[in-house]
Structures are given as structure tokens and as C-alpha cells.
Amino acid sequence: MNVPSHVTGPLPWPRWAYVPGETAEVEADYETLDMAKVLVPPAFRGYVPARHPALRYGLALNDRGYFWESQEVLETLWAAAPQGGRERILLRACTHVANANLRLRMQKARSAARLFGDALTELRALTSRKAAPVGDGFVESFPVPALTALLQAKLGRPQLTKADWIGLSAIVRSQAPS
């Protein structure tokens, strides 16, 4: 698919948030998501750039409550990330968070807690891997310790609710130097 010629500047938001089982009459807004997915190369060389438009869009989708859509875009980035690379691990963790957020919206707290736990496991694996600075990569710019601490706090609660969803790009903004 090609990016339509009328799309310049920021990518448009999906027309609705797809929630499996709730929006049964309508499918996901694949047309809008494809505009972001087509920006992802078949394979990134060395690392996933932190400022890649599809990455920024995927994180922002999550923060705007488009959890299923975020997961779709992040999975596309994950598939193109270098095999065995640190970005691939971080993208998998972010995908787990988006999926957990979706489960919270669907009122499946136990499933969400399991996915938050999976994300935490990925982040621990990431921090145990030796860092090789690669410039403006996603891992170098993402505040992994902040997300780790937030996940630990959420998992320490007796019961998760819809209000416990986690914003991904909000973590990045909160850790940015003033």
C-alpha cells in the first residue's frame, strides 16, 4: 500500500477505537493504520530510530486510548527491528503494555496483570543485556527504569481497574529534561 497523496504532516487518528467483542458491528480502521505501517521498512538496520514517525504514532495511539491500534503498529515495528536487538525487546514490552491496556478496557484485570508482568519480564531482560550505544535509537531515548517502576507499582495493587492503564509516550515526556 502507498501512503495516500493527501496525507502530509501528522498521521490521522483512527475514526474509532477498536475493542474486540464491543465493536462487533465494525472492524478496526485498517485503512488509517496502514498509513503508519507503510512507513516501516522491511527491516531496520542496526536500530529503530527513536524519532521514526510510525514509532511515535504507535506510542501516541496508546496514550489516546487506541490500544488495539497501538499494538498493531508496534508489532509492525517489532517485526522490522533487528533480530536479537535491544529495540526488539523494548518494542515487545510496549506491545504487552498496549495489550494489557486493552484488556483493562475490556474489564479483564487478570489478563492485564499477566501482560503487565510479561512487559516487566521483557524490561528486565533488556536491562540485563549489554548496551551498545547506537545514536538516536529507541532504547537510548526511552526511560526504561520509569516504565519498570510503573509496572511494578501497578502489579503491586490488589486489583487493577480501567483507570490503571499506562501511557507510553507520556512516560517519555515525563522523563525529558526541562
Instruction: Kindly list the distances between the CA atom of residue 4 and the CA atoms of 12, 34, 38, 39, 56, in Å, as whole numbers in the listed order.
Output: 12, 10, 10, 12, 19
- At 134 the pLDDT is 63
- Could you list the residue range(s) of the whole structural domain that residue 45 is in? 30-167
Number of domains in the chain: 1
DSSP-derived 3-state class of residue 137: strand
Residue 8 in any domain: the answer is: no
Q: In this predicted model, what pLDDT tens digit does every residue of 120-143 receive, in sequence order?
A: 999 999 988 776 666 789 999 999
Ranking 95-104, 110-119, 156-165, 168-177 by mean pLDDT, the lowest is 168-177
R_g (Cα) of the chain, nearest Å: 16
Rounded to whole angstroms, the Cα distance separating 62 from 36 reads 14
Residue 7 in any domain: the answer is: no
Residue 175 in any domain: the answer is: no
Q: In this predicted model, what pLDDT tens digit does every residue of 28-38 receive, in sequence order?
A: 999 999 999 99
Residue 3 in any domain: the answer is: no
Residue 98 in any domain: the answer is: yes
Rounded to whole angstroms, the Cα distance separating 70 from 57 reads 8
Residue 175 sits at the vertex; the CA angle it makes with 172 and 177, to the nearest 5 degrees, is 115
pTM for the model: 0.90
Which set of grid coordinates corresponds to residue 106? 475490556
Residue 6 in any domain: the answer is: no
Residue 163 in any domain: the answer is: yes
The CATH number of the domain holding residue 50 is 1.10.3450.10
Residue 161 in any domain: the answer is: yes
Mean pLDDT value across the chain:
89
